Structure 1
Amino acid sequence: MSPGSGRNGGIKSIETSFAIVETLHDNQPLRLVEIANRVGIANSTAHEHLSTLRDHGYVVDRSDGYYLSLKFVDHGKQAMVYYRDLLEAARPSLEQLVDETDEAVNLVVEEHGCAVYVDRQTGKRGVPTNSWVGKRKQLHSLSAGKAILAHLPTDRVDEVLGESGLPAVTERTITSRDRLEEELEAIRDRGVSFNDRESHEQIRAVSAPIVVDGTVFGAVSVAGPAKRLTGAYFREELPDLLLGAVNEIELKLVYS
């Protein structure tokens, strides 16, 4: 590997810049020395990258340290253009689910092998979690993620799991490929997926995939406190509501 080469033939300097961006995303504000230490580079190298990012408007140097700039918001809005039809088709159904459940309702897609939240509506009883539009999580730990995996082509599932593995998020997360395959088969049979405290010790969720002509566009989930989402409500009522909502979304996508 040449000095300028990064992983998988990438460009090392660009990888360093993105490492700085991701470090700021998780920890801002940070001062130059803190960034250099976290990324594992020299202070002078960190200064060069930060100066370039600042000159192009991607970071802001404030009195208490460096922050990501609002330029990323602009890029994020443009990134959502690809999902415009899905978002427009899904929004009324998401709002209806919020009215019916008063819980948190999510629209999730798969990108780069991750579950990504592209819309989130929350009822009055919806509890705050570490999920928001743009948040990326492990597919196998979420009801929406498993619903998507269940309808992806086998080679794509192999590719995703080959890269990400099956790490445990909680003690209840599925970490065995054989166990996951059994779960994905069950999801295809019943049409819905369950998350029984697999991504958070106190959260349960139910999800249904959005599938049109054999292609999975994403999934809709309803999530709430594990002590409230129980029994027939969790296993029967919420799935029925979700299947009805997703059917509406699929029809809108077909005829849009």
Structure 2
Amino acid sequence: MAIRTTDQSNVKTIDRTARILETLKELDGARVSEVADELDLANSTAHRYLSSLKKNEFITQEGDFYYVGLRFLELADSAQNRTEVYKLAKPKVEQLAQETGERAEFIVEEHGYAVFVHRAIGETAVRANSHQGKRIPMHATSAGKVILAHSPERKVEEIIECRGLPELTSETITTREELDEELEEIREKGVGFAEEEYIQGLSTVSVPVKGSSGAIQGSLGISGPSGRMSGDNFKREIQNLLVGAANELEINIAYP
């Protein structure tokens, strides 16, 4: 069946709206002319979209600048609490951050990215470029690799085909052969590591969180400076904390 012109127009409008919101986020606010330049639009077209988004309270205006609005906080809260797993993971993340002093996180896969659902900062944690909702490449993070290791092969193929294996640092895995070897090791050991593969100087340790059916639900992880996250004893201590927290979370998922 042929797609009707009105349907094509509606899809184009939705796509353009999404790109405008992304642009406002990336530029941390922008004038009409800046949005128009970024998206190759006429100023009048950009203004029409911005006015509509403002009318619907998705963006706000301060002088000549438009910004992503606080209404997205309400939407974010809904997203963070849309499943029981997400709700149950939050206190575990906070507990891990307190116990380790580092950054703790609960990450899931969405649209081929590893997404921070919950994050907590410990007393000695570094404030790396991450926040709740941030999307990062699956292959360059311990959490992403843990999720890939416990996902169906077809799902892994789809993610790699869509997102590729881009090099982010000199330590990033960029070949399918190397990735497959590491995923197999993660399945055997039940833990994943990423040493400066996403951000230079930052290393992470993650373990899987599974549902009652055994399907992967997400990953609990700890991130910190590579200097502090080194050494077998330290890694083993972090791993034991993560495994214990994940086991408790899985029991709570199975027996709410």
In 1, Cα distance between the equivalents of 2:52 and 2:91?
A: 43
Matches of residues 148-163 of structure 1 in structure 2 within 5 Å? 148-163=147-162
Q: Does 1:87 align with 2:118?
A: no
1:32 aligned partner: 32
What is the TM-score normalised by the length of structure 1?
0.93
Asked whether the equivalents of residues 30 and 66 of structure 2 are also in contact (C-alpha less than 8 Å), the reply is: yes
**Gap change, CA 1:78 and 1:211, over 3 Å in 2:** same
Letter in 1 for 2:118: D
Q: Deviations over 1:1-47 (max 9, x none)?
A: 987776xx971122111111100011122110011001111111111
Letter in 2 for 1:66: Y
SS across alignment from 2:254: helix
2:141 aligned partner: 142
Percent identity between the aligned chains? 39
SS across alignment from 1:146: helix
Gaps of 5+ in 1: none
Which shifted more, 229-238 or 159-168? Answer: 229-238
In 1, Cα distance between the equivalents of 2:241 and 2:74?
A: 35
In 2, Cα distance between the equivalents of 1:88 and 1:27?
A: 32
SS across alignment from 2:172: coil
In the TM superposition, residue 99 of structure 1 has moved relative to its aligned partner by 2.7
In 2, Cα distance between the equivalents of 1:91 and 1:61?
A: 33
2:42 aligned partner: 42
Query: Deviating runs (4+, > 2 A) in structure 1?
Result: 1-6, 87-96
SS across alignment from 2:81: helix
**Gap change, CA 1:10 and 1:204, over 3 Å in 2:** farther
* Count of matched residue pairs: 253
**Gap change, CA 1:91 and 1:29, over 3 Å in 2:** closer
Asked whether the equivalents of residues 116 and 135 of structure 1 are also in contact (C-alpha less than 8 Å), the reply is: yes
Which shifted more, 74-83 or 133-142? Answer: 74-83
Q: Does 1:68 align with 2:91?
A: no
Q: Does 1:184 align with 2:169?
A: no
SS across alignment from 1:149: helix
**Gap change, CA 1:4 and 1:162, over 3 Å in 2:** farther
Matches of residues 81-230 of structure 1 in structure 2 within 5 Å? 81-83=81-83, 85-212=84-211, 213-230=213-230
In the TM superposition, residue 132 of structure 1 has moved relative to its aligned partner by 0.9
SS across alignment from 1:206: strand
In 2, Cα distance between the equivalents of 1:108 and 1:253?
A: 16
In the TM superposition, residue 86 of structure 1 has moved relative to its aligned partner by 1.5
In the TM superposition, residue 211 of structure 1 has moved relative to its aligned partner by 1.4
Letter in 1 for 2:232: A
